[in-house]
Chain A
Amino acid sequence: MIDLIALLGLLAFSAASLLVGARLLGLARHTRGLPERLLGLSLMLAGGIGTMVGIAPAFLPGLDPRVAYATYQLSSILCHVGYALLPYFVLRVFRPRTTWAMGLFLLSLAFLAIGAVGLAVTLPLGQSIHHPGDEGRIWQLASLMGRFIGNAWAGIESLGYYVLLRRRLALGFVDRETTNRFFYWGVCTIAGSVVWLNMATEMLIPAVAANVAAARMVSALLGIVSACSLSVAFFPGARRSEETLGAEAPKGTSHRG
């Protein structure tokens, strides 16, 4: 039962990432904007294709171990490229000219690169990349740290901006839908960061490792929260009017939330 819920959470997040990622990449074709391309690719590669490819061998018991090995390696490359694009998006959009932000991005990138290369080199034939043995533990932790930095940073920036926009919203300087987009994306990325933290504590703390079912349930629920908030954030509201696309919307014209 726990495994089923865990799978449901993972599939929900993966499907939402694919759909939103495809939408943003489609948008990028029209706008030629780099931010939508970065976020779209990040979602498609990490949450969407990479995750789907990574869980496929678990559903194919008769799969040749060499094919499974290649599949895990491919999934890891796709996921890590996607993970790295997230902090780059945050840097580019929220802190393009800030030195400490560049440092944080490079730190996240370093953890991801070290983790990805370490996992690729130490993965033995016949073992899942998601549950590395003793040799792969340290690399998995490095990778999780890189993912955590990217997600937590995105969440903090987005929720911080949401707080600022709430004040502007009260004065009619911004529309409610865009304001709420920062909130939902903040929730989505913070939920993701807690998933990575949860996975790391499962590896580091024996008491948590002893209660795998609870840890997986938490991750599954966070996956569902993340999927829902991601979808709400980046699919245009059905009742959205052209007026709300402008810089300001009169008070009382809110469409959501």
Chain B
Amino acid sequence: MAEGEAFTIVAEELERATNLDRLQARGTLRIALKAAGLNPKQLRMKELRGVIERLLPGELLVRGIDDTEAVVARLLAVLPRNDDPIEDESPLAVFRRLGSRT
């Protein structure tokens, strides 16, 4: 999946599933990602799924969206099921490797 594509897919679905406009939907998602220390352009599906399940409901409630379970289910449904491998040369991947035994 191209850089930032997963973010766009979820933000568009969030816009359709709620009364948030494009800017609000993207902003809400960005706030949830920032709280998790994630960059919208370098997201792994597993991380995005975790943010949608665990952080986004709180952000939606703050914005007056009560039916968070249904929204979360819709967002999860548009995400690809298989995870993409972590970028080999990201700082995280490099530092994980630097501490490995082989």
Contact = CB atoms under 8 A, between A and B. Distances in A.
Interface of A: 24, 27, 30-31, 33, 35-36, 39, 92-94, 96, 157, 161, 163-168, 171-175, 177-178, 181-182, 185, 233-237, 240, 245, 247-248
A30 B47 CA distance: 29
B89 interface: yes
26 contacts: A24-B98, A27-B97, A35-B89, A35-B98, A157-B91, A161-B91, A161-B92, A163-B37, A168-B37, A168-B47, A171-B50, A171-B55, A173-B36, A173-B47, A178-B95, A178-B99, A181-B99, A182-B91, A182-B95, A185-B95, A234-B99, A235-B99, A236-B99, A237-B99, A245-B96, A247-B86
B56 to A, nearest CB: 12
B71 to A, nearest CB: 19
A248 B46 contact: yes
B82 interface: no
Interface bin, chain B: 20 to 34
Given A24-B98, A172-B50, A181-B99, A96 B36 contact: no
Interface centre among B44, B86, B95, B96 (most CB of A within 10 A): B95
